[in-house]
A and B are shown apart, each in its own frame.
Chain A
């Protein structure tokens, strides 16, 4: 069992390594993509500078805290897109019968299917995210917690993408639901939860779990709250398990297509 897990991890790491190497073939393009993504994220600082010139506290967040939130949103997005970009195209993979190639491999179908593509610009998101830790005020504790929540947040985003993508096993044209669902996660993630009230707030901690990927981790970092840290870890494990389960159930209904294509 341990050997199987070890082999799977090696295989996934190899897939990611070759994905990164492929992206780096054109080094200038890779570096410019990363740099422009950092600039892209940094440009939003202007928005917050203007807003904080009007009010010292927005939704319970100070300027530095909102920057940390923005940083975590960027780094979780970055991790999910840098290493698991194909998870966000899962419905297309299923609809066009591209899962066939992964079914014949003696490794996890899901892991192989979601690690085939690497997005170079997403590395810019990760770098920007960690730069915000220094902006907030570096300490080893903050850095390690930020790293931990970057991983858990990234896993939550990927898991939601898998669940939404797996709808393609059951529904036609589920790509629309999948795209909009993934976009919802991104849009809400960069604004303080304190500005939302009532049903919206409940939704952000349940159906659209931005709260679990971003808001709760930020509170855990600021307050150094062990209960919240453990809760985030447990919830992340549950969502990852759920995504795996939904994909497995869906896979039993998979019937391929008659579309002929070559993987290059």
Chain B
């Protein structure tokens, strides 16, 4: 475990040198939140009403956190990196290293994701307080649960993206698979809470990655309850276990296809 923590630390230190690059992304983040704030303010013309159990403030804070999780993960970059490693044969260099490639990819990317998440949280809190003020009935007790759930959400998301990137062992371009996954998370996970979807879609979403990667932490932020803590953490731990298992299986199966030709 120590070697993975070292990988995490060294990537964190590297990314600290490029903090400026991360903060540039704030502009897009601010614009997205600003547009959604305007949209929800328009839809909640009567600001005291609840839609599907959420007030206007809760909806905007929900989007603020889900977008933080989205930007922190930067999945496209990770998927491209894994895919390139497989296609270029770089992955072969990891075979004789004293670590597992999945662990290496996870911890090295988390070094960046944690820093991005931290910086985007500062930006998100500032823009949220500026546009809406503090969250109604927010209890500080919820904070450690939200942080832990957000970290778990990012870890699960990163492992799932690694799985998608590893499909490059069999298909030329894993991009389309990532597209589908990212749209699932973006459309169903970042914009609306699951309660906005009715019937069978709501049930499917409760079992989908949306529940553990975006909805869970954001639900704890805007509508905290200990029952939600139990449900969300349980789901996250099960998903984490399954995601790790699947990624190891894909890697083991895929790595047999590598032909090392020297050079």
Contacts and interface: CB of A to CB of B under 8 A. Distances in A.
B24 A195 contact: no
Nearest to B188: A46
A67 to B, nearest CB: 16
B187 A43 contact: yes
A58 B42 CA distance: 7
Contacts of A32: 173, 176
Chain A's interface size range is 20 to 34
Contacts of B186: 43
Nearest to A190: B35
Nearest to A194: B42
A194 to B, nearest CB: 7
B38 A195 contact: yes
Contacts of A227: none
Contacts of A39: 179-180, 183
A180 B183 contact: no
Contacts of A197: 38
Interface in B150-203: 172-173, 175-176, 179-180, 183, 186-188, 191-192, 196-197
B35 A176 contact: no
B28 A180 contact: yes
Secondary structure class of chain B's binding surface, majority of residues? helix
Interface in A174-206: 176, 180, 183-184, 187-188, 191, 194-197, 200
B181 to A, nearest CB: 12
Given A32-B176, A40-B179, A180-B24, A54 B192 contact: no
Contacts of B173: 29, 32
A44 interface: yes
Contact of A195 (B31, B39, B176, B188): B39
B197 A50 contact: yes
A51 B43 contact: yes
Given A187-B31, A187-B32, A47 B191 contact: yes
Interface residues of B, number: 27
B176 A50 contact: no
Contact of B24 (A50, A54, A176): A176
A256 to B, nearest CB: 27
Interface in A9-67: 29, 32, 36, 39-40, 43-44, 46-47, 50-51, 54-55, 58-59
Nearest to A46: B187
Contacts of B39: 51, 58, 191, 195
A157 to B, nearest CB: 16
B42 A195 contact: yes
B179 A187 contact: no
A59 B32 CA distance: 17
B140 interface: no
B132 interface: no
Contacts of B187: 43-44, 46-47
A183 B196 contact: no
Among B42, B173, B183, B196, max chain A CB count under 10 A is at B42
B234 interface: no
B260 interface: no
Interface string B24-36: 1001100110110
A51 B52 CA distance: 12
A195 to B, nearest CB: 4
A188 B35 contact: yes
A196 B38 contact: yes
B237 interface: no
Contacts of B43: 51, 54-55, 58
Nearest to A184: B31
Nearest to A188: B35
Contacts of A54: 43, 51
A50 B35 contact: no
A44 B32 CA distance: 15
B27 to A, nearest CB: 5
12 contacts: A36-B175, A39-B180, A40-B179, A44-B187, A180-B24, A180-B27, A183-B27, A183-B31, A184-B31, A188-B35, A195-B38, A195-B39
